[in-house]
Chains A and B, each alone.
Chain A
Amino acid sequence: MKRSAFTIIGGLVLALSGGIAAAATPPDTVVMAKQIDDIISLDPGESFEFSGSEAIGNMYNRLIGYNLKNVSELYGDLAQSWSVADDGKTYTFKMKPGIKFASGNPVTAADAAWSIQRAVILNKSPGFILAQFGFDKDNVAKKVRATDPSTLVIETEKAVAPTFFYYCLTAVVGSVIDMKTAMAHEKAGDFGNDWLKTNSAGSGPYKLRSWRANESYTLEANENYFGPKPKNKRVIVRHVAESATQQLLLEKGDIDYARNLTKDQLDSLAKNADVKIDKGLKGSILYLGLNQKNPNLAKPEVREALKYLVDYQGIQKNIVSATHAVHQSFLPIGFLGAIEDEPYKLDVAKAKELLAKAGLPNGFSVTMDTRSTSPITDIAQAIQATFAQAGVKLEIIPGDGKQTLTKYRARNHDIYIGQWGPDYQDPHTNAETFAMNVDNSDDAKSKTLAWRNAWNIPEMTKETQAAVLEKDAKKREAIYQKLQREHQKTSPFVIMFQEVEVAARRANVDGFVIGPSFDNNLYAGIAKH
């Protein structure tokens, strides 16, 4: 009996092995393996997750975009021209003529106005990016309007820095949606939200063929696209949670891109001639947040000492060499006003001196809430080791992502090792969260990162608020640079790294663009040779 069972299985395996050898992906189809279980919705007015942004960025256009190589340079995407009136509050956009949505409907100023109006009225997670200019469900139809099919007029509440407003329009939530198609699927006044979660109505290079949560999404080339035709017919992104599995699939040639490989895997692939690596600097920043409710961490000398107790270069080299670069200020490289100063390095003697000054010559004990994922855990352990050199006993509390985040948001942590990605491409997004805390009370309305760490900074808050009103781009840049240098010295944030996004690909495939933001990871240039 045993023998016969083995015979059957052996025979089956042999019979199958002929049919499935050398599986290459179809020539006009790009296949990626990626962790995409964060996608909740593919409606541009609702999506606020990394993977969703990427998909939407390939299906929709915005009014304006920015040069991916030089973010300070704006260009017209669906808008031909734009200007701001002397009052600094009235913006006028002229639409490019002759552009069509994937459905064949023409792209008009009415679509653009409606897209902004619905995002404000729906008020989902990313809604604030537009609502912060003084729009709400009652006034938005008046303030954002199409005066004729090619002219869009937007009136902001206050005269802010025009660049601030423009960059917010480049965010995913500023995508222009095909009003007719979406409204044809409207249910109970939802502006087509339910339908758009799993369908697309854009004018970008691709349209959505299917999205199956936790499984895959498939984009198909949009034949009505006004720009250069995509070099492939469709892109299939499969959810593969395990990075080791992604690596195997890539080595075997069953996928063209593996998107979530770890440093060790990338190192081992370096010797493989069939695999190449693409890289791009992302805006995401890795930092430690020191809760000022902890009396030890609230001492300025302790905050500074801890900044000297991280081995930035060592961690970069040994743990995250492929995926992160050392960066010590709150604006990532690629943003207006970003600085590259690196005032801190591992200096135990200096840290001990500072701790002694703070009355803690023998160090102290403190906990750190740490997500149990790579490379966060490894970085935490490296920090634990260097903290110990100055007598700071760091206890790592491991947890799941949402769990540690819940604790962080309730300000119940000591130290939190966190990652922050900008919401839009303007410096205010990070300045607001790292350097603004309007109300430090527990039930404050605005819960920025500064608030989460109970850092009470009335002066710096004012400076940050002023920066967003500065109309002169040069002056605005200078304000942010000054702000960051002060922040580096005094803040309870140990800013350590900026993320580098890495994609491993088969050598016969190229053309994937990894832009500074997740919504400009572009598929249209991917070609097989």
Chain B
Amino acid sequence: MRALDALARRTLVARPLRTILTIVGIALGVGVLVAALVLNAGLDAAAERSVRDQLGRTDLRVAAFEERGLSRASLAALATTPGVAVVAPELERRTYPVPDPLAGSGLPVPVTVIGVDPAADAALHDRPLASGSPLPAGGGDVILVSDALARADGLAVGATITLNGSVESGPRAFRVSGILAAVPGDPDPAGRSIVVPLQVAQTLFSTDAVSRADLGLTPGSGVAAVTAALESRLSAEPYTLTTPGELIADLRASTADFRAMIALVAAVSLFGGAFLIFNTLAMTVAERARDVGLLRAAGMTRRQVTLLVLISAGHLGIAGVALGLATGVGLAAAVTAYVSPGGGVLALRELVIPPAGLLLGALLGFGVTIAAALEPALRAGRISPVAALTARLEQTAVLRARLRWLTVVFAVVGVAGIALWPGAADGSAGLLRPLAVYGLLLGVALVGPFLVGPLGVLVGAIARPFLPAEERLTRSALVRDRSRTALTVGALAMALAVLVALGGVAATTRQAATAWLTEVVPGDALLTSVRPVALDEPQLADLAAVPGVARLSPIGRFAVAVGGQRLDAAAVVGADLLSDGRLVLTAGDRAAALPALDAGGAVILPAAVADRLGLPLGGLLQVLAGPEIVALRVVGIAARTIPGSSGEAVLVGWPDATQRLGALGADVFAVRYVPGQAAAAAAALEPLARANALEPASLQAVAGTIGASVDRLFALLTALAVVALIVAGLGIVNTLTMNVLERVRELGILRAAGLTRRQARRLVMLEAAVLGAVGAIIGVGAGIVAGAILAALGAGPGVTYDPGLGSIALALVGGVALAVVASVWPASLASRIEIVRAVQYE
């Protein structure tokens, strides 16, 4: 065994560049896998920590469904429910600080105000202070401000800040009694939160309701029993009940798509690394066939020969995995650093390195390495001394064996990928996406050998007029070892397929996220409010009277309860949508449906919701509104409506929204300008809007902001997918080098017959360009289909798949460019062949 190990090491050391390339390839493949595992752990930890920060020691959270909030009656019912020890109510509202007159004319950045009962709050939540003192039990006009707000607005303990309240209460001044320590999970998107006594907040916002109540249960009380007790007692208005575990699960589910993409990229990278191992060992076996024959003739058994190759693979695997673990942690650290300032759906806060994840990554990486080495090792064991001396290419047998190997390795890698894929553990529905995508990629790899020939001829035909000699010789080079060429092309095609799929999903996601702006919003611009604006507030008339403003259409987003589920809803003016030509219905008559909303008793459903609830046109949507059920007739089904916090919103008219469903007002106004007067009207409207705490933005600006956040996420995934492409590039270097080394004598003869060094170099580079082009064509085709599968299964109906032409063009050009760059060294090798030595080469 020691002798075999020594021989294996010498074989690896004899080809240092090839060995290093292979180790780097494995490291990159394992690196992306480990990065995926580390990021998953980080996301899990971030979700848990976020919920802990939000809920503290809360056992159950009762949240209001409607904008009106939970009433006193509901709070009283909570307090008297058996098993409930502590009720900590909170009122959460967003508002603007009163702007500094010396500052510019823009609106100040809004803040989130949280009103709490200090005594009850302290029982369930920790609000550590960086300085100052906590809220007094008796209330008063004192507040705690977050660390981010204090630093941004220059607030210290004792400073005064004036907040805008409701129209009725007006602005109110507060003294800062304490500054909260900087902890993650601030309820305000920008970390600008203020904690005030509950009664103060209720007075400021002219309400006696609360947004939610956190409950601490008596020791020994079960959540299920308390939940059952609450169901009979809470009847004043609809509510949701959430446990910390359910919140954590929701947060984890919100990152499912990101994790799925990472898993896909990791699987493809790992496969690329496996191919490098295979290629390297296949090269070594081919080069050493005569040596192996001699060893066999001298008495080495088949088993010992197989073991020799596997030991080589083991060394490569150990080195590659070790480097891969470090690479993976580094990649994860880079992703965390990139993502954490932005927050959003990826609430990564810190790097979490799970020992179990590292072990899993190491074992999977090593396992794939050995699986990749099996075929070359077994083939080496089958070399007979006679065959070694008269080695012939047996194309068909080699191709069959390699396709078998390909299926085995892909199965191993596929298992790894599915294990990483979120939702796969949830059963058949969760498995469908990864199986479909992996099945497609495996199909690409298996079909590749049969496409390389014809596609290669087609692509080579383009080069023929310019490089006739090189093109003819390239064709023979590509079919020299069809299976190796096919695997090289396959690895490249898969990496490019992932890139194209990501591009398509990104484009589709961007389209889905912004399409509502052009298809539903009846205006040229939006005015956004942090609080619901009642439709009879006087400033609206002033805004609508600005010259050049044709119309101000209110849109109010809120939530409704249907059959125990939370649904997003939006109040719109049907007449405005009708006159603007907006909102496409897939069922129902627009001319009748939109006025029906304004008349009341009607609803328009987005197609996804209609499908989910099984409601046809003419059906009844039964909405729980307080103690009553409000039945709304479905007068239309739309391809797309306005997005809510968890899906597309059902559309109702304002009469139903305010009088029956608890909506308080509009949070967005769509502004339609008179044609030709938009610029002047906007210039007059915008300062007036800001003065009334309404933030103006053009539809393009809103689309740009949404698009930018989508692009940021996908840029990250694309960067990781580029790693898979690099691994494929290393595979091309390996293959082309092998092709050159196998053709040393042939190249020598060609040089003797008059092939110049430049022609020899161009020969190899053209070979690479053809490989790259074939890989790009196959990869782009597979990528478009994979992207369509991912988009269709993820986005649901009503979304048109956009293949992302930019990604396709980049993949086509990039595939060829990568291959040509990868060919630089092998081409140089070919051009430097010494003719005399080459023609005597055996």
- Answer whether A and B are interacting partners: no
